[in-house]
């Protein structure tokens, strides 16, 4: 054991350290796979312990990679054998739930699902939701500014964070645990850490905003053939439902058909013969009136031909079955293997052209073998593309990236809508940010972490 590791063990105790010998048994991804390479994994039990560890690392120029639930999708938690990993898996306390102020104060290792359940137990709701809810931690969600299924109504993680605490690369604790909706006293420092992917500080605690629990929930799956109708349908639902629209998820036929074919657990709610399917959800405060209004809007859209077919969930179970099709990432990946997953954003009006350009690029390169499945949070201008080139063995990732990312520039799109940059997209950052924006990002990094010790290489490169 090196002198540094021995000093760290003195701070965190035996339970707080997994040494290099045992590190390889720890996963590198949320499904439990992988073969971790690292100097050690440190598991502090408090912010103070982490601060002492970081001070030592700073003195010894030791690189540190923070990890949460490992559900990130851009290689943000990759490590080399010389990195030290910091995991907050022993910092999982719910510190306080304020029912009147509608806030919850938690340590950053708490999983998303736990926060949701705590809120539900007192008739409140935490509105960030995503497929990896059982694994993703509050620290990871903040570090990636995660989005998810209800952004159209409640915003991304940034909108839910009232305050946070973070430990800087040199061990300084920045405690910005504001719990009020309003606080304009100087710079809003918490914003530095939200979405910075562990490169500017390690988030240790947070005060999160809760919302009233909704009484009604109405979910429908609708089908249509004309892409241009999608924006009209979105506008109609948004306007007619008085702000209660909470999800607007579009699946292209190539995604919908592939999931239904690939997993017989799904009973096809609508025939797989249409070009697009939209999962629409609204939640509000009046069971009968909300259901009636939701049905009326659907009927209006069916009668004017914007929607060609529709199914309404008549129970929570049926609603879950509709969402299960939209969330079946495992079938998607397993069917397309070897595959690449992409998360981009661009204005809704350009999306159809963009997807056609990607399709053309893939066809030109790999002909009919190339497979594409498209779906996403269209109400947030965000689509996910899953690409299988159809070739044996490793996917030619760089070539697929070119096919997917290059057409974005013409539409003012972004190479990352909600997953972040990590290692995977760092070479493409300059196609979505100006040179001056990147220069300012580097200035911030140098100010907070002058030795480049925190999550080195991620986001900005070396």
Of the residues 94, 306, 329, 460, which one makes contact with ligand FAD according to CB under 6 A = 329
SS (H, E, C) the chain: CCHHHHHHHHHHCHHHEEEHHHHCCCCCCCCCCCCCCCCEEECCCCHHHHHHHHHHHHHCCCCEEEECCCCCCCCCCCCCCCCEEEECCCCCCEEEEECCCCEEEEECCCEHHHHHHHHHHCCEECCCCCCCCCCCEHHHHHHHCCCCCCHHHHCCHHHHEEEEEEECCCCCEEEECCCCCCCCCCCCCHHHHCCCCCCCCEEEEEEEECEECCCEEEEEEEEECCCHHHHHHHHHHHHHCCCCEEEEEEEEHHHHHHHHHHCCCCCCCCCCCCCEEEEEEEEECCHHHHHHHHHHHHHHHHHCCCCCEEEECCCHHHHHHHHHHHCCHHHHHHHHCCEEEEEEECCHHHHHHHHHHHHHHHHHHHHHHCEEEEEECHHHCEEEEEEECCCCCCCCHHHHHHHHHHHHHHHCCECCCCCCCCCCCHHHHHHCCCHHHHHHHHHHHHHHCCCCCECCECCCEC
Where does this chain touch ligand FAD (CB under 6 A) — which range of 53-61, 139-147, 347-355, 407-415? 139-147
Q: Is 203 in the site for ligand FAD (CB under 6 A)?
A: yes
Taking CB under 6 A as the binding criterion, the range among 129-137, 332-340, 353-361, 445-453 that sits at the site for ligand FAD is 129-137
Taking the complex as a whole, the smallest distance from the CB of residue 150 to ligand FAD amounts, in Å, to: 10
Q: Does 77 bind ligand FAD (CB under 6 A)?
A: yes
Interface with ligand FAD (CB under 6 A), residue from 105, 229, 455, 457: 455
Of the two residues 201 and 290, which places its CB atom closer to ligand FAD in the complex?
201
User: Binding to ligand FAD by residue 198, rule CB under 6 A?
Assistant: yes
Q: Residues 44, 127, 139, 319: which binds ligand FAD (CB under 6 A)?
A: 139
Using CB under 6 A as the criterion, what x/- string covers residues 85-104 for binding ligand FAD?
Answer: ---x----------------
Is the Cβ of residue 144 or residue 229 nearer to ligand FAD in the bound state?
Answer: 144
Nearer to ligand FAD, 221 or 417 (CB): 417
> Residue 169, interface with ligand FAD (CB under 6 A)?
no
Q: Is 224 in the site for ligand FAD (CB under 6 A)?
A: no
Q: Which residue is nearest to ligand FAD (CB)?
A: 140
Q: How far is the CB of 459 from ligand FAD (least distance, A)?
A: 8
Lookup result for tokens 């809007």? 297
Q: Which stretch binds ligand FAD (CB under 6 A): 8-16, 59-67, 237-245, 390-398?
A: 59-67
**Looking at beta carbons only, is 297 or 383 nearer to ligand FAD?**
383
β-pairing verdict for 17-19 and 173-176: unpaired
Which one of 97-105, 144-152, 350-358, 397-405 is the stretch in contact with ligand FAD (CB under 6 A)?
Answer: 144-152
Binding flag, residue 340, ligand FAD (CB under 6 A): no
Residues in region 407-426 near ligand FAD by CB under 6 A: 418-419, 422
Residue number, 190 or 293, with CB nearest to ligand FAD: 190
Rank residues 71 and 331 by Cβ distance to ligand FAD and give the closer one. 71
Instruction: State the residues that interact with ligand FAD by CB under 6 A.
Output: 30, 65-73, 76-77, 88, 108, 130-132, 135-137, 139-141, 143-144, 146-148, 197-198, 202-203, 329, 418-419, 422, 455, 458
């Amino acid at each position: 054991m090196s002198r540094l590791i021995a000093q760290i063990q003195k701070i965190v105790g035996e339970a707080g350290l997994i040494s290099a010998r045992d590190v390889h048994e720890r996963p590198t991804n949320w499904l439990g796979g992988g073969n971790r390479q690292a100097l050690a994994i440190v598991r502090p039990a408090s912010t103070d312990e982490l601060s002492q560890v970081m001070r030592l690392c700073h003195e010894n120029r030791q690189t540190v990679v923070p990890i949460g639930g490992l559900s990130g999708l851009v290689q943000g938690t990759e490590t080399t054998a010389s990195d030290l990993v910091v995991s907050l898996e022993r910092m999982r306390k719910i510190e306080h739930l304020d029912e009147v102020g509608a806030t919850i104060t938690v340590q950053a290792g708490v999983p998303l699902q736990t926060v949701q359940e705590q809120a539900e137990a007192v008739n409140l709701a935490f509105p960030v939701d995503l497929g990896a809810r059982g694994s993703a931690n509050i620290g990871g969600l903040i570090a990636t500014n995660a989005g998810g299924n209800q952004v159209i109504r409640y915003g991304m993680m940034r909108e839910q964070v009232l305050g946070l605490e973070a430990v800087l690369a040199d061990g300084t604790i920045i405690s910005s645990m504001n719990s009020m909706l309003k606080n304009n006293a100087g710079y809003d420092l918490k914003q530095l850490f939200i979405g910075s992917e562990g490169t500017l500080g390690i988030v240790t605690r947070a005060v999160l905003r809760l919302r009233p629990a909704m009484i009604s929930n109405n979910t429908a799956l609708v089908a249509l053939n004309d892409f241009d109708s999608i924006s009209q349908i979105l506008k109609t639902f948004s306007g007619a439902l008085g702000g209660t629209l909470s999800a607007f998820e579009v699946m292209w036929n190539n995604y919908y058909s592939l999931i239904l074919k690939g997993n017989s657990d799904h009973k096809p709610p609508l025939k797989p013969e249409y070009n697009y399917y939209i999962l629409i959800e609204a939640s509000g405060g009046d069971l009968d009136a909300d259901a009636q209004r939701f049905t009326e809007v659907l009927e209006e859209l069916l009668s004017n031909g914007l929607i060609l077919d529709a199914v309404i969930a008549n129970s929570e179970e049926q609603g879950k079955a509709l969402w299960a099709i939209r969330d079946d990432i495992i079938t998607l990946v397993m069917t397309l293997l070897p595959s690449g997953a992409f998360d981009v954003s661009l204005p809704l009006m350009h999306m159809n052209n963009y997807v056609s350009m990607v399709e053309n690029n893939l066809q030109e390169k790999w002909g009919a073998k190339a497979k594409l499945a498209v779906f996403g949070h269209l109400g947030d201008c965000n689509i996910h593309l899953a690409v299988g080139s159809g070739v044996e063995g490793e996917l030619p990732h760089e070539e697929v990236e070119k096919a997917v990312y290059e057409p974005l520039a013409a539409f003012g799109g972004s190479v990352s809508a909600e997953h972040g940059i990590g290692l995977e997209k760092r070479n493409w950052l300059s196609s979505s940010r100006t040179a001056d924006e990147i220069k300012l990002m580097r200035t911030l990094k140098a100010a907070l972490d002058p030795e480049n010790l925190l999550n080195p290489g991620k986001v900005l490169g070396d």
